[in-house]
Copies of this chain bind each other. A is one copy, B any other.
């Protein structure tokens, strides 16, 4: 699975990277694609980290090529530049395309795509890990962490709980899971929606009138609410107009000449068109060959998965269970995301009614406030200032400081 060189990669690549398929169901012909970037230094002692993007049904190569991976794609769609704030500086990072049907992951049994849901996703990801560790046995006892964002608010706790249960059943540490970190995670429908609408209003993206309508007519955010609630929800989502809800202050990707003139090619300048470059890159035949991927059309998010058969209204009970197991649990949040905003995460934590262990305080990177941290009994909230939904895209240095602290089992530096 070792990658010789990625097409257009910069000089001086000083770490090993691998990619390929791990079969999770040989009868069905179901295989998951991964990209694995080892650390340039201390690879043999650094922890092992799994990264999962959300959706459901979006590719974790988004994380690899626009967020925390070692490379990002230049605006030519053909060449790569180095991300100096990549998380493989401090960990060996697996990016898993999950479930089958996402990115390069596939099933030869097309009916699989009609039976995909949270449960099957967790099951397959677990099987992937067990099989992957057979291929990379030096990582079997390594400290292991699961990270991810958005709908991975479901994936991450569910996979962690699957590992926990299987370790327990086997009465041995099959996978040495130490902690989870979920970014702007969708973890509870009710607080998720309240957080969205409150965020939109308090960030001056919704009118007072619409906010009043939501509060008058919406209570459950399901079909128990009157029709008026639906109308105000539509209003609330429309009122912000044509902005990037994933970062309410970011520029839009303008496909005209003026924006192409702009040179970004540095992780310090967020480029709103970066997913386009990645898409061009991953659809080049030579790139797919170098990645050991099946020649196919690569999409950001899956078109092939028709329905999602199970998605619990809340994963807070799972998180509560994980808390009793002594896992390190972080919920982090970029604070300028309106899709799964910081308010949603805070409201969800409020539901858990946890005692405060260390009071709210700023943390810092490069003499700037990187965000805020509050430690509760069993769970830690970390915000990343001026970061949108894809935290490491917008604030790479802050995100690396944050995850480094997490992996060290420490709060981010004051």
A350 B199 Cβ-Cβ under 8 A: no
Q: How far is the CB of A187 from chain B (nearest CB, A)?
A: 17
Question: For the complex, what is the distance from the CA of A335 to the CA of B368, rounded to whole Å?
Answer: 21
A336 B249 Cβ-Cβ under 8 A: yes
Q: Does A205 sit within 8 A of B, measured CB to CB?
A: yes
B342 A204 Cβ-Cβ under 8 A: yes
Q: How far is the CB of A410 from chain B (nearest CB, A)?
A: 18
Stretch at the interface among A24-32, A151-159, A359-367: A359-367
Most buried by B among A204, A241, A249, A335: A204
Given A239-B360, A252-B368, also A198-B202 (CB < 8 A):
yes
Q: Does A343 sit within 8 A of B, measured CB to CB?
A: yes
Q: Does A206 sit within 8 A of B, measured CB to CB?
A: yes
Q: Does A207 sit within 8 A of B, measured CB to CB?
A: yes
Q: Does A386 sit within 8 A of B, measured CB to CB?
A: yes
Q: How far is the CB of A238 from chain B (nearest CB, A)?
A: 10
B385 A210 Cβ-Cβ under 8 A: no
Q: Does A254 sit within 8 A of B, measured CB to CB?
A: yes
B249 A209 Cβ-Cβ under 8 A: no
Residue interface mask A169-212, B partner, CB < 8 A = 1: 00000000000000000000000000000110011111111100
Residues 37-63 of A contacting B (Cβ, < 8 Å):
none
Question: For the complex, what is the distance from the CA of A364 to the CA of B243, rounded to whole Å?
Answer: 11
Question: For the complex, what is the distance from the CA of A200 to the CA of B53, rounded to whole Å?
Answer: 30
Question: For the complex, what is the distance from the CA of A231 to the CA of B375, rounded to whole Å?
Answer: 22
Residues 369-384 of A contacting B (Cβ, < 8 Å):
369, 371-372, 374, 383
Question: For the complex, what is the distance from the CA of A184 to the CA of B204, rounded to whole Å?
Answer: 13
Given A209-B360, A369-B243, also A202-B199 (CB < 8 A):
yes
Question: For the complex, what is the distance from the CA of A361 to the CA of B207, rounded to whole Å?
Answer: 8
Q: Does A413 sit within 8 A of B, measured CB to CB?
A: no
Q: How far is the CB of A361 from chain B (nearest CB, A)?
A: 7
Q: Does A14 sit within 8 A of B, measured CB to CB?
A: no
Question: For the complex, what is the distance from the CA of A50 to the CA of B252, rounded to whole Å?
Answer: 35
Residues 294-327 of A contacting B (Cβ, < 8 Å):
none
Choice from B202, B206, B360 contacting A343 with Cβ under 8 Å: B202
A208 B239 Cβ-Cβ under 8 A: no
Q: Does A251 sit within 8 A of B, measured CB to CB?
A: yes
Q: Does A346 sit within 8 A of B, measured CB to CB?
A: yes
Choice from B207, B249, B335, B356 contacting A385 with Cβ under 8 Å: B249
Q: A202-B203, A241-B361, A243-B368 are in contact. List 9 more A-B contacts (CB 8 A).
A: A199-B202, A202-B343, A207-B360, A208-B346, A209-B360, A210-B360, A242-B364, A242-B369, A254-B367
Chain A positions within 8 Å of B, measured between CB atoms, are 198-199, 202-210, 239-243, 248-249, 251-252, 254, 333, 335-336, 342-343, 346, 350, 356, 359-362, 364, 367-369, 371-372, 374, 383, 385-386
Could you pull out 17 A-B pairs where Cβ atoms are within 8 angstroms?
A198-B202, A204-B333, A204-B335, A204-B371, A205-B372, A206-B360, A208-B346, A208-B350, A209-B359, A210-B360, A242-B362, A242-B369, A243-B362, A243-B385, A248-B385, A249-B249, A249-B386
